[in-house]
Amino acid sequence: NPERAGFLRARGVELVELPFGGRLDPITRYGFRRAVERYKLQVVVTWMNRATRFCPPAQGKFVHVGRLGGYYKMKNYQACDHLIGNTKDIVRHIVESGWPEDRVHYLPNFVSVNDTEPLPRALHTTPQEAPLILALGRLHENKGYDVLIRAIADLPHVYLWLAGEGPLRAELEKLTVQVGVRPRVRFLGWCGDPTPLFGAADMLICPSRHEPLGNVVIEGWAHDVPVIATQSEGPGALIRHDRSGLLVPVDEPRVLAEAIKRLCMNPGLMRNIVQGGRKRYEKDFTESVVVGCYMRFLKKVAL
């Protein structure tokens, strides 16, 4: 990831980049082991399956921590000393898979906010006075964007900005034509920094069928944008209905349309859930809060 590497190097972080090829990739295994030895690491944290498999055996020389952001198969984590889940439900999944509770830890993601001007709506031919919905993520069946597009069909004055790429783009574009909303839907493609989009939007919709965390919900809270989400795994656990967002059933476009209409017609409710989301964000998901949790955890488990 050149963008991430540049970000880290600009802040004085010395990087070792490895290709993470197939299971028989000798370069990554050798380079990983050399990096651990060179820096005399006390703790190695590996993100997800591939990095965890490539990590050299700890053998008492360091503490190996695996970090899970989904309901992964636990066979890839058998060599770990501790595991991190970024939601409480993922932690439950790990413990129910047989891991001792004292070696499983909840550490959430954080969201950082930077000061960026809102993207002018005119750049995407969107009326200034129109209610504008933002949806972010990969164009995949799990994300439920087909449900959102069908909901928009019942809301004749609402516009949608859909930011992301994926295998369903052509299918979703075709659907917008079929249900008669193509003039009001903008496919923005991949956006590295969505902050200007949040500044332009009136609300954020997360219509996912499956969403282990729902980081986008936290992004909405951080940018003071009201959130409507389905009761999928992550958003359903994060949001308190009518307090920090609105929750709707999965795969129910008409119910989603009614929730959008309710929010558009109720500025007081919109203000309340923005305030509720902001409070939750500042309590649990700011950079300083989460980094502090990680630092305490690493000091606790280090050799």
Q: What is the pLDDT along the chain (303 residues), one digit of tens a residue?
A: 888 899 899 999 999 999 888 777 889 999 999 999 999 999 999 999 999 999 999 999 999 999 999 999 899 999 999 999 999 999 999 999 999 999 999 999 999 988 889 999 999 999 999 999 999 999 999 999 999 999 999 999 999 999 999 999 999 999 999 999 999 999 999 998 899 999 999 999 999 999 988 899 999 999 999 999 999 999 999 999 999 999 999 999 999 999 999 999 999 999 999 999 999 999 999 999 999 999 999 999 997
What is the pLDDT, as a whole number, of residue 213? 86
Q: Is 239:229 a contact under the CB 8 Å cutoff?
A: yes
pTM summary value: 0.90
What is the pLDDT, as a whole number, of residue 192? 85
- Taking CA atoms, 230 is separated from 75, 91, 149, 237, in Å, by 31, 21, 14, 11
Kindly list the structural domains of the chain, giving each domain's residue range(s) and its CATH number in brackets, ordered by start: 9-110+286-301 (3.40.50.2000), 121-284 (3.40.50.2000)
What is the pLDDT, as a whole number, of residue 275? 98
Q: Which residue has the tokens 């909901």?
A: 151
Q: Which residue has the tokens 């750049």?
A: 123
- Compute the CA torsion angle 159, 165, 169, 175 (nearest 10 deg): -20
What is the pLDDT, as a whole number, of residue 115? 84
Total residue count of the chain as it appears in this document: 303
103: exposed, middle or buried (Cβ count in 10 Å: 0-12, 13-18, 19+): middle
What is the pLDDT, as a whole number, of residue 119? 97
pLDDT in tens, 196-220: 999 999 999 999 999 988 899 999 9
- The helix/strand/coil state of 191 is coil
Instruction: List the end-to-end C-alpha distance of the chain, in Å, as a whole number.
Output: 30
DSSP H helical segments within the chain, as ranges? Answer: 2-9, 26-39, 48-54, 88-96, 145-152, 169-178, 195-200, 215-222, 233-238, 253-264, 267-284, 287-301
What is the pLDDT, as a whole number, of residue 22? 79
